[in-house]
Structure 1
């Protein structure tokens, strides 16, 4: 006899791994210049890019203006560009890490679905909220 939690079809088929989302970016051609230009044209389709760039622009502008009050424009510009780069890269990295954690949680939920479904079907009375 087999128990309700053991499903022969689930043991033969490993659960689908969701590591990468399908990309809407153009396929790579192998030429770094063309690939970079194509990626720049489709920057809005890169996950987290829009928010990261907006945070970087706002931070760079703010620091540039504040630094411009006490230093010459070249120094203020350097601070603004540096701040833009640091904030953009930092917020993009944080967003990507959050997306990876979310993918792992979704994967764990998907893996646990058959077990939860089997255990709920074995109960005799449905639970009401």
Structure 2
């Protein structure tokens, strides 16, 4: 016999049992292996692509502007530094935004069943 499927009502009894979203390839516990997996699967890491592109654009722009008045090595250093700072900051802000959205979603899921129960109690005159 097939296992019965849970109802598709959308109401979750225990929000703590909802698994966290996967933030890239699964971890092996080895830092080097995980770093290489993340580098080769950069498209699976949330916010990584946009953060790196913003950093690259900023680094090229600052490097070019700085290169007009300084030695190319100095301009390159400014470009790399700008790329690193903008990429890291952009990644952090995007990840923080995702975490805040997930937190608000969990709060909404926790409050939803209570609101539904209150509405059902108001509609049922026999409960009073």
Which band: TM-score by shorter chain? Answer: 0.7 to 0.9
What are the ranges of 5 or more consecutive residues in structure 2 without an aligned counterpart?
1-11, 124-128
Q: Does 1:77 align with 2:57?
A: no
The size of the alignment, in residue pairs, is 112
What are the ranges of 5 or more consecutive residues in structure 1 without an aligned counterpart?
1-9, 125-129
Larger relative contact order (Cα-Cα within 8 Å, sequence gap ≥ 6): 1
For 1:76 and 1:114, how far apart are their aligned partners in 2? 58
Q: Does 1:41 align with 2:40?
A: yes
For 1:19 and 1:95, how far apart are their aligned partners in 2? 20
Give the aligned partner of residue 15 of structure 1: 15
For 2:77 and 2:92, how far apart are their aligned partners in 1? 22
TM-score (norm 1): 0.76
Give the aligned partner of residue 86 of structure 2: 87
Give the aligned partner of residue 109 of structure 2: 110
TM-score (norm 2): 0.77
Give the aligned partner of residue 99 of structure 2: 100
For 1:18 and 1:67, how far apart are their aligned partners in 2? 49
